[in-house]
Structure 1
Amino acid sequence: MSETSPAQRRPSGELEASVLAALWAADGPLSPAEVQSALGGRLARTTVTTILTRLHDKGAASRSRAGRGFAYSPIQDSAGLTARRMRSELDKQDDRNTALARFVSQLTSEDEQLLRTLLDAADDTPQRPGTGPQAAP
């Protein structure tokens, strides 16, 4: 019998989030079998391997040869991955101004203040050559 029926499907991204959590909790790279074990053996190894391969293809995990297979490591922590996803979504927009304006308009006042503080701090940081406002054509 399968683990979940179609009526009990997991929310989108739940398995990837679980696998990433196992990678983040590890002290080093994990094989699919080790990830499976870290998740309590609830998933088939083929499912874990598929998820790890997808995470690698998306750039969320790196892999290195380990025997006949691979061992996987997260590329970024949770906050870094969230930032990367936000940037990816923004890059898909034809009208970045509107997308950013709508994002900012939905922030809580605390998040808005935090964003202002972060932007002010970024303005005070010396820019690398070829970046920042001076780099614009």
Structure 2
Amino acid sequence: MTNRREGPRRRAQGELEGLVLEALGEADGPASAGWVQERLGGGLAYTTVITILTRLLAKGAVTRERSGRSFAWTPVADQAGLAAHRMRKVLDGESDREAVLASFVTSLEPEDERLLRELVLGTEPDTKGTD
């Protein structure tokens, strides 16, 4: 017998932000927090959605415009842009940027290292099999 409390699964850091951005990306235009809340389902509180949208606004991942008494939200960045923002934030917090970048690059899988090299050199990434 286990004494574990059953409850909602704890989400990974940034997971909700990614889900909110994904939902906004599916909207036909600017969307309300209520629309995002409905789209996500799962019993997420309206205040939680507002908090996530406000954090995304501070990160430059969304914009907002007045819509009646509320706001309509539009994505500016996608999940990849949000991940890049988090990576930059970590890097900005380190004093030895060269050591951090060197450690990061040497820890990459060979395919990721190749892709990064192509991106840095400005060459076309090898995308065989895609249009």
What TM-score, normalized by structure 2, do the two folds share? 0.78
SS class of match (1:19): helix
For structure 2, list consecutive stretches of 5 or more residues without a partner in the other structure.
Answer: 124-131
Q: 1:7/1:117 Cα in 2 relative to 1: closer, same or farther (>3 Å)? A: closer
Which residue number in structure 2 is paired with residue 116 of structure 1?
117
Identity percentage over the alignment? 55
> Given residue 82 of structure 1, which amino acid in structure 2 is its aligned partner?
A
**Hey, which bits of structure 1, 4+ residues long, moved more than 6 A?**
4-7
Q: 1:64/1:107 Cα in 2 relative to 1: closer, same or farther (>3 Å)? A: same
> Given residue 116 of structure 1, which amino acid in structure 2 is its aligned partner?
R
Q: How far apart, in 2, do the equivalents of 1:77 and 1:107 lie?
A: 23
Q: 1:41/1:9 Cα in 2 relative to 1: closer, same or farther (>3 Å)? A: closer
Tell me by how many angstroms 1:32 deviates.
0.7
Tell me by how many angstroms 1:6 deviates.
6.9
For structure 1, list consecutive stretches of 5 or more residues without a partner in the other structure.
Answer: 123-137
Tell me by how many angstroms 1:73 deviates.
1.2
Which residue number in structure 2 is paired with residue 62 of structure 1?
63
Q: 1:77/1:11 Cα in 2 relative to 1: closer, same or farther (>3 Å)? A: closer
The structure showing larger relative contact order (alpha-carbon pairs under 8 Å, at least 6 residues apart) is 2
Q: How far apart, in 1, do the equivalents of 2:13 and 2:113 lie?
A: 29
Q: 1:5/1:58 Cα in 2 relative to 1: closer, same or farther (>3 Å)? A: farther
Tell me by how many angstroms 1:120 deviates.
1.7
